[in-house]
Amino acid sequence: MYPYIEVFNAKIPTYTLCAGLGLIVSITLVCCFLMQKQMLTKYISVVFWSLLGLFIGAKLFGVASRVLNDLYNGGSFDLLECLDSGIVYYGGLIGFIITIKLLCVKKKLRFDELSGIVAFCIPLFHFFGRLGCFLGGCCYGKVSTGLLSIPYRIGFDGCWQSRYPTQLFEAGFELVVFGVIVYCYIKNKYDKNKLLDAYLLSYATFRFVNEFFRGDELRGVFGFISFSQVISILVVIYICLKYYSKGKVKNEKS
């Protein structure tokens, strides 16, 4: 819609601007909570190094979705073209969490001390990211004349069409989840160790449904299901198996 913003005759991608702002706000919030709990020096290096895992994961999933999409639709793929693919939020999310866990193990730190804070900073970051998607013209919804559709233009040269604002659907969802998790964390309304899993489960469920309203073809679609929906299913299965096994062990001990 508005892919670029001109600042001093320089074109800055609106997605980069929004994502960068979201990253700054989210990391600042993490540092504030860590400082409040006197754990800033303990975990600050883990938080910043995990950003590397975020970027690597986002790019790897972007390449993977492009390769799988090309194989499904054409039976072959061009690696150089696939390397020029975009990024995938799920890849960044998974890369970020895995990197934090690995660093905590290496430094002999407790992942559960950090996971509760991470749980509400992730949706806050993604809220800004999806606003960037909306302004930048990616991750757009299908053409529709329903009540939830809005006039939308893809790129400066595109024509205006009524589409589902799937980016705003997701941004709104992430903002609500952020508020709920922050409230639960501050008021101790929920086990802080389970807040990250609660976010993953809720987001995977929402993302699976929201993908049916998406209209962009580059995200990787295999028949009636998308790449992100496959990941959503795997995330839900992982969370369910995790708590099933924990409950089974607990019952055996009792």
In this predicted structure, what is the pLDDT of residue 232?
96
Average predicted confidence (pLDDT) for the chain: 88
Instruction: Provide the domain count of the chain.
Output: 1
Using the predicted structure, report yes or no on whether residue 247 has a pLDDT greater than 80: no
Task: Report phi then psi at 217, rounded to 5.
Answer: -95, -10
| 16 vs 78, more confident | 16
**pLDDT tens-digit map of 142-182:** 999 889 999 998 876 778 889 999 999 999 999 999 999 99
* Residue 226, C-beta contacts closer than 8 angstroms, at least 6 positions apart: 211, 214, 219, 220
- Mean pLDDT check: name the lowest of 21-30, 79-88, 126-135, 232-241: 79-88
In this predicted structure, what is the pLDDT of residue 159?
84
In this predicted structure, what is the pLDDT of residue 12?
84
Average pLDDT over residues 226-252: 85
- Give the range of the structural domain holding residue 241, as residue numbers without chain letter: 4-253
Average pLDDT over residues 113-126: 93
